[in-house]
Copies of this chain bind each other. A is one copy, B any other.
C-alpha cells in the first residue's frame, strides 16, 4: 500500500478504535466502581459535566465519581450510536446512552440520554478532554419501579 490516502484512513480507524474503547471504559469503570479504570480515561485537565455535579480536573473528577457512587449504589450504562469526528490529535464525538439507576431509596429508573465528548491524543494515547451528559427527556426517568 503505497497509497498515502489509505494510510491516513487506516490511522483514523486506529484512532477511532481507541476512542470507542474510552467510551466503553467509562461505562465499565463507573458501573463496576473500578476507580483506576475510570480515572485512566481522562486528560489531566478534563471537564466532566453531570446533572449531579461538575469537575474540571482529575482530583475533582475523582471526587465527583465518588459522589455518584455514594448517591447511586447501582447504575448500568449502555452506549450506542457513536459518531466521532477526528482532526489530527483532537476529536469531538457523541453517543446515546441507556442508563439504569438504582438509588439508595430503592427506586429503579431507566433514563435515556446522550453524551457530548471531546478527545485529545496525548503521548500515552487518546484521552477524554470533556464529557457532558444531557438527558433526552427533560422529565426523566422514563420509567421507574420500586424493589418489592
Contact = CB atoms under 8 A, between A and B. Distances in A.
A66 interface: no
Contacts of A79: 80-81
Interface size class of A (residues with CB under 8 A): 35 or more
A47 interface: no
25 contacts: A1-B6, A9-B10, A9-B14, A13-B13, A13-B17, A24-B81, A27-B80, A27-B81, A28-B83, A28-B94, A28-B96, A74-B137, A76-B112, A78-B80, A78-B81, A78-B96, A78-B98, A79-B80, A79-B81, A98-B98, A100-B112, A100-B136, A108-B143, A110-B142, A142-B145
Interface of A: 1-2, 6-7, 9-11, 13-14, 16-17, 21, 23-25, 27-28, 31, 74, 76-83, 94, 96, 98, 100, 102, 108, 110, 112, 136-137, 139, 142-143, 145, 147
